[in-house]
């Protein structure tokens, strides 16, 4: 059985270190697909680098999914905020579930985010549960392991960075949340925060939630 680990990146200076760590820690047979939107594509040993043709992290995942060969599909950040040790734990639990999500908001989870980012995360978690009715503590996570058949006949229309909630909501899959340690990036720039990029992303998230809800009501998927 093969696991495909999809990592969207854009100007991530520590991607080689992350890939080396994944290859050292993950025991399962795996491939690493880096879907890159950098100004200059990185040269990374131990992984396949794809040039992203579309825009946005969600579309990067879809591009990686189309190239992947694995029976198990994993998604994680490329900035070091997600630990390969937690990925190994999630892979051990996927056999009895359709999707395993890494959550920093359940008991045992850790998060080194600033207070502002924590408040944004909590606010959107509450909003997601209210609008979509999904029973998840951390629906905005970008750390996921899923069986490939979850994506059978699943039409994804990513908006911005948050594709996991779209996958969970549209697939109606069996989901397990497990605690992870989430580390604030040490280099590069965050995509979400109290700046113009962050505000635009928050608006996209809210728009996504409404589109998902209205799409189900209208029977569009």
What is residue 186's predicted lDDT score, i.e. its pLDDT? 53
What is residue 21's predicted lDDT score, i.e. its pLDDT? 98
Domain boundaries, the chain: 3-218
pLDDT tens-digit readout, 150-181: 999 899 988 766 899 999 999 999 999 999 99
Whether the CB-CB separation of 211 and 158 falls below 8 Å is answered with no
Whether the CB-CB separation of 178 and 90 falls below 8 Å is answered with yes
Cα–Cα distance measured from residue 111 to residue 81, given in angstroms and rounded to the nearest whole number: 9
| Residue 102, C-beta contacts closer than 8 angstroms, at least 6 positions apart | 82, 86, 87, 90, 138, 141, 143, 144, 177, 178, 179, 180, 182
Fold of 3-218: Spore Coat Polysaccharide Biosynthesis Protein SpsA; Chain A (3.90.550)
Closest CA to 155 of 145, 167, 143: 167
Q: The pTM is what?
A: 0.88
First to last CA, the chain: 30
Q: What is the mean pLDDT of the chain?
A: 88
Specify the residue for token string 């209205």.
214
Closest CA to 73 of 63, 115, 10: 63
pLDDT tens-digit readout, 12-67: 999 999 999 999 999 999 999 999 999 888 899 999 999 999 998 999 999 999 99
């Amino acid at each position: 059985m093969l696991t495909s680990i999809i990592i969207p990146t854009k100007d991530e200076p520590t991607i080689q270190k992350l890939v080396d760590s994944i290859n050292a820690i993950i025991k399962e047979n795996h491939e690493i697909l880096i879907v890159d939107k950098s100004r200059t594509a990185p040269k990374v040993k131990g992984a396949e680098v794809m040039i992203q043709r579309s825009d946005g992290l969600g579309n990067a995942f879809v591009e990686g999914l189309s190239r992947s060969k694995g029976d198990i599909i994993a998604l994680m950040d490329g900035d070091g905020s997600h630990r390969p040790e937690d990925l190994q734990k999630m892979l051990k639990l996927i056999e009895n579930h359709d999707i395993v999500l890494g959550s920093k908001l359940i008991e045992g989870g850790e998060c080194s985010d600033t207070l502002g980012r924590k408040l944004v995360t909590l606010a959107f978690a509450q909003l997601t549960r209210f609008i979509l009715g999904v029973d998840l503590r951390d629906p905005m996570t970008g750390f996921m392991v899923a069986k490939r058949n979850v994506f059978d006949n699943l039409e994804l229309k990513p908006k911005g960075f948050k594709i996991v909630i779209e996958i969970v909501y549209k697939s109606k899959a069996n989901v397990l949340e497990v605690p992870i340690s989430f580390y604030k990036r040490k280099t590069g720039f965050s995509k979400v925060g109290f700046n113009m990029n962050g505000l635009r992303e928050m608006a996209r998230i809210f728009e996504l939630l409404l589109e998902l809800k209205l799409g189900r009501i209208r029977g569009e998927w």
